[in-house]
Amino acid sequence: MRRREPADGRRGSSLAGLQIVNTRSRRQAGALDDCLAERGAVSIPYPCIEIVSPADLAPLETAVAQLADQAYDWVVFTSANAARAVSDVVRRRGAVSSLVDERATRVAAVGPGTAAAVQRLLGLPVALRSPVHTAEALAAELIAHGARRPLIPAAERAREALPRLLGEAGVDATVVTAYRTVTGAGGANLPLLLRSGTIDAIAFTSPSTVEGLAGRFAEEGGDWSLLASVCIGCIGPVTAEAARARGLEVAVEPRDYTINGLVGELESYFNSRIDRARQSGRRIP
């Protein structure tokens, strides 16, 4: 951990001056960048994913039209990307106000970030948000609320946990591809920065960011073993599982599966390192 002077001179946080890799897409990187900057950390851009439209938009367009016709009793958003994809279709249809009749169709979301995106992009009130921000918890909540025929706009090749659990409970869920995740590009030269020892941590916010880094890093000639020398932070258990499957040792996994939770846990991790250095009499980096 080579501590550098924060760009704005701020001190106080254990993250001040540290360089932390942001693996989110360019479109979504801002929230993590801002949260790190508030603590004086240097956010290093390395987009491991980008979000693009499905090859065939017709199924999503049909599902949105059926949603407006009250064909579903719930519409379930598992990511802000899904909300944005539906919003794009709605704007093209020019019928935002008639998307959902709240008396017939309710809205569910995983986590506060997704709920906020639904409200901001679609103007819809979120009737259900699971207390634990996982598909498994949301499935249990939907079942408890008597869902019968929910619509789930999701990523291509998304996790099957939510529709599987709903199906096992007799719920007739319709899953439609709303977007695709592809490998990102641009940003910093991460292989070079790791070789120079200037990276302190890498933050992963989804399993796709882990897979995207694995693919991109290999293509760019990176030395995978160097990842063992930095702190690996994952936003939640599903992302952590993907990282461990790639042989990474996860040092940070917050109980609050949000950007704020992840950055807060990174701060606690580096606080602990500083405390251990003080107790051992070593120089604090």
pLDDT of residue 276: 74
Q: What is the mean pLDDT of the chain?
A: 89
pLDDT of residue 274: 82
* Residues 54, 48: Cα–Cα separation, whole Å: 18
Tens of pLDDT, residues 118-175: 999 998 899 998 877 778 889 999 999 999 999 999 999 877 889 999 999 999 999 9
The answer, yes or no, to whether residue 215 has pLDDT greater than 60, is yes
Sign of CA dihedral 58, 59, 62, 68: negative
3-state secondary structure the chain: CCCCCCCCCCCCCCCCCCEEEECCCCCCHHHHHHHHHCCCCEEEECCCEEEECCCCCHHHHHHHHHHHCCCCCEEEECCHHHHHHHHHHHHHHCCHHHCCCCCCCEEEECHHHHHHHHHHHHCCCCCEECCCCCHHHHHHHHHHCCCCCEEEEEECCCCCHHHHHHHHCCCCCEEEEEEEEEECCCCCCHHHHHHHCCCCEEEECCHHHHHHHHHHHHHCCCCHHHHHHCEEEECCHHHHHHHHHCCCCCCECCCCCCHHHHHHHHHHHHHHHHHHHHHHCCCCC
Task: Report the pLDDT averaged over residues 186-207.
Answer: 96
pLDDT band at 6 (very low <50, low <70, confident <90, very high): very low
Phi/psi of residue 167, each to 5°?
-60, -40
pLDDT of residue 196: 96
The answer, yes or no, to whether residue 186 has pLDDT greater than 90, is yes
Phi/psi of residue 59, each to 5°?
-60, -40
pLDDT of residue 35: 97
The answer, yes or no, to whether residue 10 has pLDDT greater than 70, is no
The residue among 104, 149, 95 whose CA lies nearest residue 127 is 104
Does the global pTM surpass 0.85?
no
The residue among 189, 122, 183, 180 whose CA lies nearest residue 155 is 180
**Do 83 and 122 touch, CB atoms closer than 8 A?**
yes
**R_g of the chain, CA atoms, integer Å:** 21
* Residues 255, 83: Cα–Cα separation, whole Å: 24
Tens of pLDDT, residues 201-214: 999 999 999 999 99
Question: Which of the two residues, 27 and 36, has the higher pLDDT score?
Answer: 36
pLDDT of residue 135: 81
Beta bridge partners of 45: 22
